[in-house]
């Protein structure tokens, strides 16, 4: 008995429940379907962390989730989410943890129960009420307009209108005056003008008899109402002010729109358009906004403006700035610009090449070679870097064999023209005798060229590799002999010498020609270190790179037998 009653109740209740549930599911799915948590089936830890974080409000910035907030607190909270996920907690448990600490406040989506349910329901209720009110008012306006049309005018007032309008002069009316009386006076004068114009047009034969009669009757009817209202206002202002003011004003607006008004469907279309526009805007904006990446960043990113990311844009702008400055020989500015580019992308070939050319012009053949090699490490066929390297080897280092090799590599890359001819000319100039190894040729050449680099102003010695270290030397490898001021920990080098394709044991000499700042005296106490870079690019630290220090650092300029063993393997 009891069971059957329950069943009956059940069968009655279920359909309704199902209907309600279906509606709820529809609403909820509309709200939730974009959410990653519900979209992903088996997300990995990071995705899951992000999904949960996206639902938690950042306590620093209120309107961002902790997934989007860059604040330290949000980072810490994300770490906690990840930690708890790893500990096997469910997303709900993790959210409950945060709710237990910060209250419901911490949820970006309030729970769909208790008082928070209002947040979910009220907008829809408000929307429905708004729609209902909108429909109600539109219907009322339309109905009123229909009923307002066949107003029978008071014959007395009609007579007054006919009497007055012909003699009506354009009065000076205060158009700014918002009082009902002034409004009505304006209205009256406008209607009288209309009547006069109608009369004129009819006399001129521009109007048919039927049109004239119909229009005249309409205007006269409205004018008589205005007159009536004017009388009423005059009477009521005499009696009282305040609340009564609204009524004539309202009536006046009724008559102020005698033309066939906006139709109901037009209003509906307008409303629908506004609704769709608002929704689109809301969806588009919420999906396109994101936290600012930095000071100059926009919150819409490139979504609305279509500009590429700021940093990339800056790079090309900076490069352009550098080129322009270089062409104007404004070296300080050019260096600044290229340095900024290199700060963002240390291997940018063009910036490195320009830096190399600038260093060459300043007389730092070694520094220039490093810059060109850096450029070539990324773009092995970058003509500017090849040209620069060739010139640096040829003119700066007298390494004719190396220069020839580089220029021969460059030649096929150039289109026929002045540049190509220039290279052909240079290649012809390079002495064939320069075929011997660079190291042997160099000291003689520099000694001849520079009077300052006597053996007294040099540091000489031998470099060997620790026999315990086994491993091949890359054919691209380059050896850097670096002198820094004594005492300081790191600091910029005073002098650097680069030896391509070194063969050990290697005798070296470091002199004034290796100074980073050309023309400075090579004196004082120096700390000498050696570095074998396997890829020849000092900008990157490879695993096979070798380092060595002179054991009795610092040394005086003029020291001999400064022998160094490469005994530290880089990681």
CA distance readout (Å), 460 to 135, 532, 557: 98, 18, 9
- Identified binder of other proteins from the candidate list 15, 88, 103, 412, rule CB under 8 A: 103
List the alpha helices (DSSP H) in 398-485: 400-410, 418-429, 438-449
User: Residue 480 forms beta bridges with which residues?
Assistant: 498, 531
CA distance readout (Å), 172 to 249, 256, 473: 21, 20, 102
| Helix (H) or strand (E) segment spanning residue 436 | none
Contact status: 121 vs other proteins (CB under 8 A): no
Q: How far is the CB of 60 from other proteins (least distance, A)?
A: 6
Q: How far is the CB of 59 from other proteins (least distance, A)?
A: 4
Stretch binding other proteins (CB under 8 A), from 108-116, 239-247, 393-401, 542-550: 239-247
Contact status: 140 vs other proteins (CB under 8 A): no
Chain centroid to Cα 70, Å, comes to: 15
Do strands 478-485 and 525-533 pair parallel, antiparallel, or not at all (unpaired)? antiparallel
CA 75 – CA 61 distance, rounded (Å): 13
CA 165 – CA 159 distance, rounded (Å): 10
Contact status: 243 vs other proteins (CB under 8 A): yes
Closer CB to other proteins, 99 or 506, in the complex: 99
- Identified binder of other proteins from the candidate list 59, 315, 362, 427, rule CB under 8 A: 59
Q: How many residues bind other proteins (CB under 8 A)?
A: 23
- Identified binder of other proteins from the candidate list 76, 280, 381, 517, rule CB under 8 A: 76
- Single out the residue of 286, 343, 357 nearest to residue 539, CA to CA: 343
Contact status: 175 vs other proteins (CB under 8 A): no
Contact status: 246 vs other proteins (CB under 8 A): yes
- Identified binder of other proteins from the candidate list 54, 68, 71, 154, rule CB under 8 A: 71
Closer CB to other proteins, 71 or 298, in the complex: 71
Contact status: 79 vs other proteins (CB under 8 A): yes
How many alpha carbons fall within 13 Å on the CB side of residue 153?
23
Taking the CA atoms of 219, 224, 229 and 233 in sequence, report the sign of the dihedral they define.
Answer: positive
Contact status: 503 vs other proteins (CB under 8 A): no
Contact status: 313 vs other proteins (CB under 8 A): no
Q: Assess contact for 212 and 194: CB atoms under 8 A.
A: no
Q: How far is the CB of 105 from other proteins (least distance, A)?
A: 5
Residues, the chain: 571
Contact status: 144 vs other proteins (CB under 8 A): no
Q: How far is the CB of 28 from other proteins (least distance, A)?
A: 25
Ramachandran angles phi, psi of 162, nearest 5°: -65, -30
Closer CB to other proteins, 25 or 79, in the complex: 79
Closer CB to other proteins, 71 or 116, in the complex: 71
Contact status: 41 vs other proteins (CB under 8 A): no
Among positions 467-486, residues that touch other proteins (CB under 8 A) are none
Q: Assess contact for 510 and 458: CB atoms under 8 A.
A: yes
Among positions 269-288, residues that touch other proteins (CB under 8 A) are none
Q: How far is the CB of 78 from other proteins (least distance, A)?
A: 10
Contact status: 115 vs other proteins (CB under 8 A): no
- Identified binder of other proteins from the candidate list 36, 37, 68, 102, rule CB under 8 A: 102
Closer CB to other proteins, 108 or 168, in the complex: 108
Contact status: 60 vs other proteins (CB under 8 A): yes
**How is the chain split among helix, strand and coil, in percent rounded to 5?**
60, 10, 30
- Identified binder of other proteins from the candidate list 100, 167, 305, 418, rule CB under 8 A: 100
Stretch binding other proteins (CB under 8 A), from 65-73, 190-198, 463-471, 541-549: 65-73
Other beta carbons within 10 angstroms of residue 42's beta carbon come to: 6
Taking the CA atoms of 172, 178, 182 and 187 in sequence, report the sign of the dihedral they define.
Answer: positive
Contact status: 131 vs other proteins (CB under 8 A): no
Q: How far is the CB of 521 from other proteins (least distance, A)?
A: 42
Contact status: 72 vs other proteins (CB under 8 A): yes
- Identified binder of other proteins from the candidate list 32, 86, 96, 105, rule CB under 8 A: 105
CA 268 – CA 270 distance, rounded (Å): 5
Contact status: 77 vs other proteins (CB under 8 A): yes
Chain centroid to Cα 256, Å, comes to: 52
Stretch binding other proteins (CB under 8 A), from 73-81, 146-154, 318-326, 331-339: 73-81
| Helix (H) or strand (E) segment spanning residue 288 | helix 264-288
Among positions 341-400, residues that touch other proteins (CB under 8 A) are none
User: Residue 463 forms beta bridges with which residues?
Assistant: 506, 564
> Residue 342 is encoded by which pair of tokens?
């290199």
Contact status: 236 vs other proteins (CB under 8 A): no
Contact status: 80 vs other proteins (CB under 8 A): yes
Contact status: 240 vs other proteins (CB under 8 A): no
- From first CA to last CA, the distance across the chain in angstroms is 84
- Single out the residue of 498, 524, 514, 218 nearest to residue 371, CA to CA: 498
Site residues (vs other proteins, CB under 8 A):
59-60, 62, 71-73, 75-77, 79-80, 98-103, 105-106, 243-244, 246-247
């Amino acid at each position: 008995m009891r069971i059957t009653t329950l069943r009956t109740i059940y069968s009655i209740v279920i359909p309704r429940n199902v209907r309600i549930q279906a509606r709820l599911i529809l609403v909820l799915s509309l709200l939730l379907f974009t959410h990653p948590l519900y979209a992903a089936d088996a997300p990995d830890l990071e995705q899951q962390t992000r999904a949960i974080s996206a639902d938690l409000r950042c306590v620093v910035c209120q309107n961002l989730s902790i997934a989007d907030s860059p604040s330290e607190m949000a980072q810490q909270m994300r770490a906690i989410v990840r930690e708890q996920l790893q500990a096997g907690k469910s997303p709900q448990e993790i959210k409950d943890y945060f709710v237990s600490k910060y209250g419901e406040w911490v949820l970006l989506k309030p729970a769909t129960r208790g008082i928070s349910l209002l947040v979910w329901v009220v907008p829809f209720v408000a929307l429905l009420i708004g729609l209902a009110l909108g429909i109600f008012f539109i219907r009322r306006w339309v109905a009123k307009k229909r009923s307002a049309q066949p107003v029978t005018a008071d014959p007395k007032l009609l007579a007054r209108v006919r009497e007055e309008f012909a003699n009506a002069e354009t009065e000076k009316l205060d158009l700014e005056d918002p009082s009902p009386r002034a409004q009505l006076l304006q209205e009256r004068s406008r209607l009288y003008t209309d009547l006069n114009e109608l009369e004129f047009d009819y006399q001129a034969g521009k109007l048919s008899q039927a049109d004239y009669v119909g229009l005249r009757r309409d205007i006269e009817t409205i004018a008589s109402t205005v007159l009536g209202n004017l009388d009423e206002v005059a009477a009521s202002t005499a009696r009282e002010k305040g609340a009564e003011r609204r009524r004539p004003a309202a009536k006046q607006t009724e008559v102020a729109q005698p033309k066939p008004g906006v139709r109901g469907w037009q209003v509906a279309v307008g409303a629908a358009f506004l609704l769709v526009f608002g929704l689109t805007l809301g969806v588009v904006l919420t999906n396109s906004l994101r936290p600012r990446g930095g000071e100059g960043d926009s919150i819409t990113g490139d979504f609305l403006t279509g500009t590429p990311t700021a940093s990339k844009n800056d790079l090309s702008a900076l490069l352009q700035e550098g080129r322009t400055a270089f062409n104007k020989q404004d070296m300080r500015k050019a260096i600044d610009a290229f340095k900024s580019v290199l700060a963002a992308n240390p291997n940018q070939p063009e910036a490195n090449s320009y830096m190399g050319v600038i260093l060459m012009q300043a007389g730092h053949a070694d520094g220039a070679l490093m810059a060109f090699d850096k450029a070539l490490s990324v773009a092995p066929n970058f003509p500017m870097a090849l040209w620069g390297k060739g010139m640096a080897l040829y003119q700066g280092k007298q390494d004719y064999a190396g220069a020839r090799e580089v220029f021969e590599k460059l030649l096929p890359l150039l289109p026929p023209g002045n540049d190509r001819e220039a290279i052909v000319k240079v290649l012809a100039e390079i002495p064939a005798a320069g075929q011997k190894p660079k190291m042997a040729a160099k000291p003689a050449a520099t000694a001849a060229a520079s009077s300052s680099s006597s053996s007294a102003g040099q540091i000489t010695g031998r470099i060997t590799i620790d026999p315990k270290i086994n491993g091949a030397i890359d054919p691209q490898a380059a050896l850097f002999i670096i002198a820094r001021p004594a005492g300081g920990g790191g600091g910029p080098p005073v002098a650097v010498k680069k030896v391509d394709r070194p063969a050990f044991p290697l005798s070296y000499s470091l002199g004034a020609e290796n100074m980073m700042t050309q023309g400075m005296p090579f004196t004082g106490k120096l700390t000498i270190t050696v570095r074998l870079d396997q890829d020849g690019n000092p900008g990157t630290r490879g695993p096979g790179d070798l380092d060595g220090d002179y054991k009795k650092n610092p040394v005086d300029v003029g020291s001999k037998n400064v022998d160094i063993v490469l005994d530290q393997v880089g990681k």
